[in-house]
Amino acid sequence: MEEGHNLERQLLDKLVSERAELEQHIVFLQKRLGLPLTVSPSASPSASATGPVDLANAGIQRGEFFGLSRPQAASALLKKWGKPLTTTQIFEGLKDASYDVSGKNALNGLYTALSRTADIRKVAPNTWGLREWYPHLKEPKKRIPVMSNEPRALTIEEVEREDE
């Protein structure tokens, strides 16, 4: 029964996250078109999964992620928080912990960094979780770098030329 409850909770979190993302798109388009903004009655801050990350409740201290790369800091934040977070929540959580997230298009840069990190997985639209939370997933394929100075076998023609 506990497992069924956990699955329902995960489904609810996923749907709330998707709803919040759709509402962001709707507001963006309404602003762009110059239309009056409409607010969904279900979009209360208490019900939203895209709300701010409360660092104190997660046991996160300011400066805790100092010296870590963005993916490492995001991974540590997710581990402390204990559940999937949106890109914006991760961004704001890192910023609130005094982690330097400045730069041009910093939010997009964080999204890209998260998508390229093996221990962080996209679990719903714009929502990330730790790979270890999903043991049923297959291991990501390893990328093998192509080396330009790698020795190769000689062709028959090249061997014959060397013999001359």
**What confidence tens digit (pLDDT) does each residue in 137-159 have?**
777 666 666 565 656 666 677 66
**What confidence tens digit (pLDDT) does each residue in 70-86 have?**
999 999 999 988 889 99
Give CA–CA dist 104/155, Å, rounded.
50
Phi and psi of 95, rounded to 5°? -65, -45
Establish if 152 belongs to a structural domain. no
Res 48: pLDDT: 39
Decide if pLDDT at 105 tops 70.
yes
What's the pTM?
A: 0.55
- What does pLDDT average to over the chain? 76
Number of domains in the chain: 1
Q: Are 13 and 83 in contact (CB under 8 A)?
A: yes
Residues spanned by the domain of 7:
2-40+48-138
Establish if 155 belongs to a structural domain. no
How far lies 113's CA from each of 61, 141, 152, 153, in Å?
A: 23, 17, 34, 38
Establish if 99 belongs to a structural domain. yes
